[in-house]
Amino acid sequence: MKNEQRNILVAAAMVATALCASLATVASATGDTSGATVTITLPPDARSFGPGPGQSIAQANCTICHAADYVYMQPPLTADQWRAEVTKMQKVYGAPIDASAVDALVQYLVGQNGKQ
Ligand code: HEC
């Protein structure tokens, strides 16, 4: 082996050693050397629609795009306000809600989170 080739090999070995040392430093800095089990707590599953007449209609028409949570996150709404909400879903967001389902939906929504 020529001297030049040997020098390149030595240089490569030095780079590799330096890289290993710095990786070891990263591993110990993140505390990732023990293999210990880490436990994390995920947020609870989204709330689903409560029981009552119309539950399956709401399930079928409202959860295509978002969780039922949206209904329960609102302040209690009147029937007119829920109707406006359903109309908004149709007109603004393009929800494919059949006109014949709207009355049942409004009644159900008032029952779930409504006021007079
Ligand atoms: C085509 C998709 C789609 C469908 C189907 C849909 N929504 Fe929505 N909904 C949206 C979007 C988009 C938003 C706004 C999301 C945001 O602002 O983060 C929204 C927001 C809401 C909100 C929050 C208040 C508001 O006006 O932004 C409520 C309440 C709601 N939806 C109820 C319903 C109900 C009840 C149904 C079934 C009758 C329904 N949605 C069906 C798309 C939809």
What is the arithmetic mean of pLDDT over 57-79? 96
Q: Is 114 helix (H, G, I), strand (E, B) or coil?
A: strand
Average pLDDT over all residues of the chain = 84
pLDDT tens-place string over residues 79-92: 999 999 999 999 99
In angstroms, what is the span from residue 41 Cα to ligand 1's centroid?
Answer: 28
What residue's CA is closest to ligand 1, atom 33?
Answer: 62
Are 78 and 115 contacting, i.e. CB atoms less than 8 angstroms apart?
Answer: yes
Report yes or no on 75 lying in a domain.
yes
Report yes or no on 104 lying in a domain.
yes
The DSSP string of 47-96 is P-PPSSTTHHHHHHHHTTTS-THHHHHSPPB-HHHHHHHHHHHHHTT---
Query: Is the pLDDT score of 44 beyond 60?
Result: yes
Which residues contact ligand 1 via a Cβ below 6 A? 61-62, 64-66, 70-71, 74, 85-86, 88-89, 93-95, 97, 105, 109
**Predicted TM-score (pTM) above 0.75:** no
Contact partners, residue 52, CB within 8 Å, separation at least 6: 108, 111, 112
Task: Show the domain range for 26.
Answer: 1-34
Query: Is the pLDDT score of 24 beyond 90?
Result: no
| Confidence tier at 58 by pLDDT (50, 70, 90) | very high
Report yes or no on 79 lying in a domain.
yes
In angstroms, what is the span from residue 42 Cα to ligand 1's centroid?
Answer: 24
